[in-house]
Amino acid sequence: MIKSRAIVLHRYAYSDSSWIVKALTEECGIVSFIVKGGKRKESPFKGALDPLALSEVVFRENPNAELLFVKEASVIEWHPHLRENLLKTAKAQVMTEIVLRYAPAGVPLEGEFSLLENALAALDAVNSRSGIFARWLLGICDLWGYTLDMHTCSRCGQAIEGAPADFHPETGAFVCKNCLGVETPRARKETLDGFYALRSDNEPATPEYVENALLAYLRNHIGFMREINSLKFLNETRKLFPEVQ
């Protein structure tokens, strides 16, 4: 038997009474569970296998089976404040879907687990910071080998003072003011100011711009944008609840 902490990434119906649960475990990476009777009111797993929950699960590992049976599951953190806020929930769903679809399969994912655990805890704080999702995206870029150098101009190699003058999401290149010269920047001022805020450990004033730039950068490396279904919900939620510091 394996006992491990797990973050529930996704859940869908298997039958009238059962669930299929996809979880990021601390010990084994992404695991698929079948939870028979999980929909019943008297289920012993109630709450522990809800999406976005951090729980402790006990299961038997079987390398020959696609679906594993959960023996025990108990909630460690249900993230109630996160769930009360639609914008936070939307961002959390994008994070979990990116991990589910694009994290390496069949291997332990300690870095991804720690990064997601910390991001969900930060979103669950009553007065959470605006740059949580953007910092999570930067962390994923680091873990997956796409590290962004926000401190150095890609053209002259010198340190960038203040906000960068431009950003190219297809390459991840930042450009300083001297090298940009009279060229028109491709990135919006809000995006460039957002990167400067992150670099300075401050909070972006309008975080959606730098979030979108980082999503575009990831898209150019792993081609996910059309396949992340929760992005549509995030974009609709942003329209209803604009986030401005």
- DSSP conformation letters of 85-122: -HHHHHHHHHHHHHHHHHSPSSS--HHHHHHHHHHHHH
- Residues 104 and 155 occupy one common structural domain: yes
- Pick from 20, 43, 78: which residue ends a domain? 78
pLDDT at 41: 77
- Residues 196 and 110 occupy one common structural domain: yes
pLDDT at 126: 87
- Residues 62 and 170 occupy one common structural domain: no
Q: Which pTM does this prediction carry?
A: 0.94
- Residues 140 and 20 occupy one common structural domain: no
- Residues 136 and 224 occupy one common structural domain: yes
Ordered per-residue pLDDT tens for the chain, 245 residues:
899 999 999 999 888 888 999 999 999 999 999 998 777 777 888 899 999 999 999 998 888 889 999 999 999 999 999 999 999 999 999 999 999 999 988 899 999 999 999 999 999 998 888 999 999 999 999 999 999 999 999 999 999 999 999 999 999 999 999 999 999 999 999 999 999 999 999 999 999 999 999 999 999 988 765 578 999 999 999 999 887 55
- Residues 68 and 85 occupy one common structural domain: no
- Pick from 32, 52, 78: which residue ends a domain? 78
Residue 181: partners with Cβ closer than 8 Å, 6 or more residues away: none
Residue type for 54, please?
L
Q: Is residue 130 part of a domain?
A: yes
What domain range includes position 168? Answer: 81-240
Q: Provide the CATH number for the domain around residue 35.
A: 2.40.50.140
- Residues 48 and 115 occupy one common structural domain: no
Task: Supply φ then ψ for residue 239, to 5 degrees.
Answer: -65, -35
Domain count, the chain: 2
- Residues 105 and 67 occupy one common structural domain: no
Q: Is residue 245 part of a domain?
A: no
Tokens of 33: 């569970």
Q: Is residue 26 part of a domain?
A: yes
- Pick from 62, 78, 94: which residue ends a domain? 78
